[in-house]
Chains A and B, each alone.
Chain A
Amino acid sequence: MNLDMYNPFVIPFAFGVVILFVNLAIAFVSWLYRLDKVQRRQIGKNIISFKTLAAIWEAIRECLFHRNIFKTNPILGYMHFSLAFGWLMLIVIGKVEAVAYEGQYFTNPWLAIFFRFFEDGRDYPYKEVLTFVMDFLLCFVLSGLLLAFIKRMYSKLLGMRKTTKHTPSDRVALISLWCIFPLRLLAESSTAAIEHNGGFLTQSLGNLLAFLPVEKFVTPLWWAYSIALCLFFVFMPFTRYMHIFTEVLLIFLRKWGVIESQKHTGYTDIEINSCSRCGICIDVCQLNTAAKINDVQSVYFIRDVRDLSLDRHIANNCLLCNRCVQACPVGIETTMIRQIYRYKQGNEDIPFYEYINTSKYTEGKNSAPILYFAGCMTHITPGIIDSMKNIFDKADDKYIFIDEDKNICCGRPLRQQGFLEQAEVLKEKLTSIIKDSGAEVLVTSCPICYNSFANEYNLDIKVLHHTQYIKELIDKGKLNLSKQDVKLVYHDPCEISRGNNIYEEPRIIINSIGNLHSTKNEKDDTLCCGGSLANIELNTEQAALITSQTLDVLTKPNPDFIITSCPLCKKTFTKNCSNNKILDISEIVSRNI
């Protein structure tokens, strides 16, 4: 250690760094320790593979350049980019400068941070270039800071609560973060006023400051800079700024194939701590845009889980439509975490399903290669069942209609409400019915059931939603559709769109029946119909607001029919749409065979 390059003001900084890394180490170790078996196995399986390289690339892209935020909001993207990338480069180039100055690799660890103070004016390699670059980077970071400041003040001026209310530690961290770079600018400029060692920015400001008694406040400014750094580092692990480090860990774990399990694990904590509270999820949430409910969105939910102050109503007030997950620049599976927090046990209202006798479902029914599972929701829109029966007959496909007596549910609505064990019982029962049938394909008319069968059941037979099945029939030439001159729009149901990506099949089918027109929100940007079974907090008036928002988008092209492929969406739309304009895709197919 070179004691010439020491001043007591580096102590707060050094202290802050040590505390930060101790805290980080404790947090990371405890999270990783609390991963469950499946998650650990995933890491072990993938840690030595190309996935790690892909994770490194993604970490650079997302944590430094913030590509996803750029995509949704370029200004917000620039803000995050300048702060994250600019700050990192200040450290890296600062280190390069220190090394160039000292002529050796090992310099005092604080030298890069407080370089201008210690520099004595002697010449070193690339001095001018490095000075220029350092000033440029400071400029860059300050521009991001200015945007952050405007964003906070502007939204406040407009009376909007775009970002969350701060906890005291958030406030300390925020204020110290905002002070760090202006203080650095002032400290470097005052040093430049005396030593004339500044760049285009610091020297210019230094020359302006030169008429003041700079000698008196130059050291206090460096102290202030160091203390601001210290405060930020000490408080950071307890604030939203923890996302800076946690997101990197999250990216690696996710690339290795770790996903949320049904209980709160270390991975859940990692996801929660990766939220930067950027607020992008508030703008895409229909509870906000249609029903004006603006205190339950993912950002608030995650904040409350983190602060251990979660209100059940916030966990429950969500459509689970996944629009926020789609929009989240960090890719946090907030809807999965909500389901974990809806977990119910020991309640006297717990339903039970052990009594269900599985043998009667297939008894007396001839075996067939196809199983048809209509689903509970389809049973309240019998037009869909009729159409599917017609399609099976026209295509000459033999099938068994398993839930014709409508006695068994796929379990997903229970799962969404947090009745995990009960859903598990139904899953086992239904799995045994499906296995005993000996069929090869399971066709369902309900996207909720499809999502269940495809992602939560471990079935060894092919699972198709009826859009996929009809598309296959068309490909095989088993259905001949006649094209009409009708104007159609398609509504993508949440459960088969985001996450299951069934986008092309319905569009191909519809285009072979009529003329499909596009709408403003389609494919992965689709809106919720408002009938989601996942939200039990919403009252009917609020749900109706969501429905009419979605219907407004769908009726904009003035279509003859609105086509959807979900019985629940269809049922919900008929509430606000008085005419018989809403058809399921199977119904329009059945009419045009």
Chain B
Amino acid sequence: MQHFDTIIIGGGPAGLEAAARLSKFDKHVLIIEKDPALGGKLLLWDKLFPDFASSEELLHQLIENIKNDNVKVSLNTGIKEIENEGGLWNIIDNHNNKYSAKALLLATGFDVFDASRKEEYGYRIYPNVITSVDLEKILSGEVSHAEPKKVVFIQCVGSRDEKVGNHFCSKNCCICAVKQAIEVKEMYPNSEVYCFYMDLRMFGESYEELYRKAQQDYGITFIRGRVSEVSPTYHGQVQIKAEDTLLSRPIRLTADLVVLMVGMEASEGTVEIGKKLQIGGNYDYFKSKNQHLADNLTYLDGIFVAGTSKRQMSIPETMKDAAAAALEINNYLN
């Protein structure tokens, strides 16, 4: 049995940032990460909105910050058991190692929505229908794709959609689509880019400006209306059926590439631990004790939460939340 001050479950931006902060408070921290590498969903993105910052550089910096004697990392590690014993949290991992700590920080994050659940959009059925995650790989050059003439972005796939049971807004896809549309236009200057949306929620700093730039400088067409279905054409393209709700007209559009802006859902690990500890809230995200006053605390003593395991957040928000969690944990430990 190894003892730590804090065990952090999840080595994404939230877990890394919290670990760095706690180590500065001279606390011994263990990060448990199920994947073979640190970084979480940051690994899926190439550049970040709204300033096109490199995610690789950010991750590099986050990892640099935890390189000290106070932080230990255990990769490829899943959680088998979590139990409280006399005010200590005991964890048994899938290699049957036992750890204990006074405080646990849950930073288990989100999963992207499985687009094949919206079968009418044809993800995994038509090869030219991809998700925003797949597009990042094309943009980074990791995967090659024939030059598309017409690219269509479809917003709110798996968000604000009663039909899949997700009423919430995933918050990040609007601005992400604007970012990606600009990147597509930069990569393929001759392509036409369309974006179907319900609302464009440009709430963050310089988001609105980027949206304006996308229209004015890049000529990207934004159409208000939800796409009903995508179907194949004889020439290997796909056809989109939608309604332009500003003009009240049905639209059919033939495209070479359709990008589904997949939303965020509580990750498998979040759901699992939420059930185990009974701290799950809406849509299986963790429920914090009080959104305004105690957003990093839960109803269980010594269990803290941070980042997108709680609700949809952008990366800057996640980092601030993780820093706040570190402060709470430090207070708790002292």
Near B by CB (< 8 A), chain A positions 253-293 give none
Q: Whole-angstrom distance between the alpha carbons of A332 and B235 in the complex? A: 53
| A540 cross-chain contacts in B, Cβ below 8 A | 162-163
Task: Report if A576 contacts B (CB, 8 A).
Answer: yes
Task: Report if B164 contacts A (CB, 8 A).
Answer: yes
Q: Whole-angstrom distance between the alpha carbons of A380 and B125 in the complex? A: 12
Of A171-179, A341-349, A381-389, A496-504, the segment with at least 4 beta carbons within 8 Å of chain B is: A381-389
Task: Report if A379 contacts B (CB, 8 A).
Answer: yes
A574 and B164: CB pair below 8 A?
Answer: yes
A544 and B120: CB pair below 8 A?
Answer: no
Minimum C-beta distance from A590 to chain B (A): 12
Choice from A381, A575, A579 contacting B120 with Cβ under 8 Å: A381
B229 and A580: CB pair below 8 A?
Answer: no
B102-124 vs A, CB cutoff 8 Å, 1 = contact: the mask equals 00000000000010110110100
Q: Whole-angstrom distance between the alpha carbons of A579 and B111 in the complex? A: 13
Choice from B114, B125, B231 contacting A379 with Cβ under 8 Å: B231
Near B by CB (< 8 A), chain A positions 369-422 give 379-383, 386, 406
Task: Supply 4 further A-B pairs (C-beta < 8 A) apart from A379-B231, A570-B119.
Answer: A382-B119, A382-B122, A386-B125, A578-B114
| A379 cross-chain contacts in B, Cβ below 8 A | 120, 229, 231
B83-107 vs A, CB cutoff 8 Å, 1 = contact: the mask equals 0000000000000000000000000
| A574 cross-chain contacts in B, Cβ below 8 A | 117, 119, 164
B165 and A575: CB pair below 8 A?
Answer: yes
A575 and B114: CB pair below 8 A?
Answer: no
B231 and A406: CB pair below 8 A?
Answer: yes
Q: Whole-angstrom distance between the alpha carbons of A382 and B163 in the complex? A: 17
| B116 cross-chain contacts in A, Cβ below 8 A | 580
Task: Report if A571 contacts B (CB, 8 A).
Answer: yes
| A570 cross-chain contacts in B, Cβ below 8 A | 119
For this complex, into which size category does the number of interface residues on chain B fall? 10 to 19
Near A by CB (< 8 A), chain B positions 231-276 give 231-232, 265
A576 and B165: CB pair below 8 A?
Answer: yes
| B126 cross-chain contacts in A, Cβ below 8 A | 382
Q: Whole-angstrom distance between the alpha carbons of A380 and B227 in the complex? A: 12
A571 and B119: CB pair below 8 A?
Answer: yes
Residue of B nearest to A531 (CB): B163
| B162 cross-chain contacts in A, Cβ below 8 A | 540
Residue of A nearest to B118 (CB): A574
Q: Whole-angstrom distance between the alpha carbons of A380 and B119 in the complex? A: 6
A580 and B114: CB pair below 8 A?
Answer: yes
Minimum C-beta distance from B270 to chain A (A): 13
Residue of B nearest to A578 (CB): B114
Choice from B164, B165, B231, B265 contacting A382 with Cβ under 8 Å: B231
Minimum C-beta distance from B163 to chain A (A): 6
Q: Whole-angstrom distance between the alpha carbons of A382 and B126 in the complex? A: 9
Near A by CB (< 8 A), chain B positions 145-199 give 162-165
| B122 cross-chain contacts in A, Cβ below 8 A | 382
| A386 cross-chain contacts in B, Cβ below 8 A | 125
Q: Whole-angstrom distance between the alpha carbons of A406 and B125 in the complex? A: 18
- In the complex, 25 of the A-B residue pairs with CB atoms within 8 angstroms, ordered by the A residue number, are A379-B120, A379-B229, A379-B231, A380-B229, A381-B119, A381-B120, A382-B120, A382-B122, A382-B125, A383-B119, A383-B125, A386-B125, A406-B231, A540-B162, A540-B163, A544-B165, A570-B119, A571-B119, A574-B119, A575-B163, A575-B165, A576-B165, A578-B114, A578-B265, A580-B114
Residue of B nearest to A544 (CB): B165
Minimum C-beta distance from B27 to chain A (A): 36
Q: Whole-angstrom distance between the alpha carbons of A423 and B176 in the complex? A: 45
Residue of A nearest to B167 (CB): A540
Residue of A nearest to B124 (CB): A383
Q: Whole-angstrom distance between the alpha carbons of A353 and B115 in the complex? A: 34
Q: Whole-angstrom distance between the alpha carbons of A406 and B117 in the complex? A: 21
| A380 cross-chain contacts in B, Cβ below 8 A | 119-120, 229
Minimum C-beta distance from B284 to chain A (A): 10
The 10 A-B pairs with the shortest beta carbon distances in the complex, nearest first, are A380-B120, A540-B162, A574-B117, A381-B119, A575-B165, A382-B125, A382-B122, A575-B164, A383-B125, A380-B229
Q: Whole-angstrom distance between the alpha carbons of A383 and B118 in the complex? A: 11
| B119 cross-chain contacts in A, Cβ below 8 A | 380-383, 570-571, 574
Q: Whole-angstrom distance between the alpha carbons of A540 and B119 in the complex? A: 19
Q: Whole-angstrom distance between the alpha carbons of A381 and B229 in the complex? A: 10
Q: Whole-angstrom distance between the alpha carbons of A502 and B229 in the complex? A: 30
Q: Whole-angstrom distance between the alpha carbons of A383 and B122 in the complex? A: 8
Q: Whole-angstrom distance between the alpha carbons of A256 and B211 in the complex? A: 71
Near B by CB (< 8 A), chain A positions 555-581 give 570-571, 574-576, 578-580
| B163 cross-chain contacts in A, Cβ below 8 A | 540, 575
Minimum C-beta distance from A586 to chain B (A): 13
| B125 cross-chain contacts in A, Cβ below 8 A | 382-383, 386
Q: Whole-angstrom distance between the alpha carbons of A382 and B165 in the complex? A: 21
Q: Whole-angstrom distance between the alpha carbons of A575 and B232 in the complex? A: 24
Q: Whole-angstrom distance between the alpha carbons of A133 and B232 in the complex? A: 79
| B229 cross-chain contacts in A, Cβ below 8 A | 379-380
Q: Whole-angstrom distance between the alpha carbons of A576 and B122 in the complex? A: 19
Q: Whole-angstrom distance between the alpha carbons of A443 and B213 in the complex? A: 52
Q: Whole-angstrom distance between the alpha carbons of A540 and B165 in the complex? A: 9
Minimum C-beta distance from B300 to chain A (A): 26
Q: Whole-angstrom distance between the alpha carbons of A171 and B231 in the complex? A: 61
Residue among A382, A570, A579 with max Cβ neighbours from chain B (10 Å): A382
Q: Whole-angstrom distance between the alpha carbons of A274 and B232 in the complex? A: 53
Near B by CB (< 8 A), chain A positions 86-128 give none
Minimum C-beta distance from B102 to chain A (A): 34
A125-159 vs B, CB cutoff 8 Å, 1 = contact: the mask equals 00000000000000000000000000000000000
Residue of A nearest to B120 (CB): A380
A578 and B120: CB pair below 8 A?
Answer: no
Minimum C-beta distance from A29 to chain B (A): 52
Near A by CB (< 8 A), chain B positions 116-142 give 116-117, 119-120, 122, 125-126
| A383 cross-chain contacts in B, Cβ below 8 A | 119, 125
Q: Whole-angstrom distance between the alpha carbons of A514 and B98 in the complex? A: 41
Residue of A nearest to B163 (CB): A575
Residue of A nearest to B229 (CB): A380
